[in-house]
Amino acid sequence: MKIELIKGDITSITADAIVNAANTSLLGGGGVDGAIHKKGGKAILEECIAIRNRQGGCATGQAVITTAGLLPAKFVIHTVGPVWNGGHKKENELLRSCYLNSLKLAYDHQLKTIAFPGISTGIYHFPKEKAAEIALQAVQDFENIAAFDKIIFVCFDDENYEIYQKLSSPLNPVL
């Protein structure tokens, strides 16, 4: 398993799955969620609505999977990160659950490559360095991580990219 770091737009990534930083409604929003629905087309929203009708959206820390519509990826895994509220509302645990549940869903679908954005580090204001530490630790801790070929962290902003570069280089000398 290889960890790759990319600076750019996750909607352009070719992978078995890209992860969306969604909200509990699954009906779209701004940030990476808005970009995925805009470029991926209506098939993604249709599947999100079907999931919502079946199970009432997606709870914080959980994940669901849909088609990737018109995107180059095969699937979108929608996970709902915690809103940062000072750190005493189980934000760390919930963010870790986002990564672990997304990896579990990908593993259950026999997916080999998965790309993550910095979940919760935009509109939800999770501190970026802490979020990156949690993301990298969750990947290392996932019990079936060896089944994956590649885990990609896609950083949209310079600050996240620099943080991931700093934190991930000891884990992966190829970075």
- C-beta separation of 93 from 80 below 8 A: no
* Whether the Cβ atoms of residue 114 and residue 74 lie closer than 8 Å to each other: no
Query: Residue 98 interacts with ligand AR6 (CB under 6 A)?
Result: no
Q: How far is CA 143 from CA 95, 114, 140, 156, 170, in A?
A: 17, 16, 8, 28, 20
With contacts defined by CB under 6 A, name the span among 25-33, 57-65, 86-94, 106-114 that binds ligand AR6: 25-33
Which range binds ligand AR6 by CB under 6 A, 6-14, 65-73, 85-93, 142-150?
6-14
Please select the residue that binds ligand AR6; options are 118, 142, 152, 161, rule is CB under 6 A.
Answer: 118
Residues in the chain: 175
| Main-chain dihedrals φ then ψ at residue 28, nearest 5 degrees | 95, 175
**Both tokens of residue 20?**
């969306």
List the interface residues with ligand AR6, window 57-86 (CB under 6 A): 81
Q: Does 24 bind ligand AR6 (CB under 6 A)?
A: no
Q: Site for ligand AR6 (CB under 6 A): which residue of 3, 15, 21, 77?
A: 21
**Residue 158 a catalytic site member:** no
What is the SS3 assignment for 90? coil
- Residues with a known catalytic role: 33
Interacting residues toward ligand AR6 by CB under 6 A: 9-11, 21-23, 29-33, 35, 81, 117-124, 154, 156-157, 160
